[in-house]
Amino acid sequence: MASRWYNPMSWSFFGFNDPKTGQYIEVNTDLGGETRSGEVITPKKAMAIPIVWSCIKILSETVSGLPLKLYDDLPTGRVLAKGTSRAVRLLAKPNPYMTMLNFIKAIIVNMALRGNAFALIERNDAGEFIGFIPLSADAVEVNTDDELIYWVTLKGQRFPVSPEFMLHFKIFSADGINGLSPVEFQKEAMGLAKAAQSWSSRFMRKGGFTGGYVIYDLGRSAAALECSCRAGAHRPALHRSPASIRRSS
């Protein structure tokens, strides 16, 4: 079973009391999930919130643009790695599909949304690293039952990966192994923002008008209702033109 840490202060996220029925409703506690506002927040839906998109864009582009240098630990001390070394070449091109700039962007996006980012370490027969393949954080499960093992699911197949073949990047962590997911812990705030977007969209789609209805007291007499109708007929309607209002008065 995978190790999973929960903040004791977040137990209320497991459910809430429905204000209409008073019944306790359990909500989805997976990454993101349903919120009290009724919106379901996932990492993909969180990116639809403008402030989340902007923050992650700035983070990924800023970090990926920082200069990176590699150093070799030698008996005489730490020295800057030579440009012809395997590590330096791998730093410039971690795999045939992307540059280091795009590789770091993918890592930062996964960390900012899910709290963790993973990359498979490719090695040759001699055990030397020859490439890094980024993985979606949703495709990796961290297991610490007996020893640290990463279970990876790719193309419908699930297989274990030892730490020697996995790069695991994480933000701040409570157990030192799993990073805390920003989407999971901030889903209520994101749900409010998403609910406001949905409400505004529905309001504007109706032309900015709010519908409604009037409830009459059935205990009123027919004569009183008829009198009210006659009184309302003599009032100018708001949708009439100024000329028609002057004629009706």
pLDDT band for position 212 (cuts 50, 70, 90): low
Distance, in Å, from the CA atom of 134 to the CA atom of 94, rounded to the nearest integer, reads 9
Radius of gyration of the chain (CA): 30
Task: Examine the pLDDT at 2 and tell me if it is beyond 50.
Answer: no
Stretch 209-221: mean pLDDT, rounded? 64
- Report the mean per-residue pLDDT for the chain: 79
pLDDT digits (tens, 9 = 90+) for 173-198: 998 899 999 999 999 999 999 888 88
130: left (phi over 0), alpha (psi -120 to 50) or beta: alpha
Residue-wise pLDDT for 118-142, tens only, equals: 999 998 888 888 899 999 998 999 9
Helices (H) and strands (E) in the chain, counts: 8, 12
Domain limits of the chain?
8-198
Model confidence at 217, pLDDT cuts 50, 70, 90, reads low
Burial of 171 (0-12, 13-18, 19+ CB in 10 A): middle
| This prediction's pTM | 0.67
**Amino acid, res. 232:** G
Q: Calculate the dihedral angle through the C-alpha atoms of 187, 188, 190, 191, rounding to the nearest 10 degrees.
A: 110
* Residue 4's pLDDT band (cuts 50, 70, 90): very low
Residue 121 buriedness (CB in 10 A; 0-12 / 13-18 / 19+): middle
Examine the pLDDT at 202 and tell me if it is beyond 90.
no
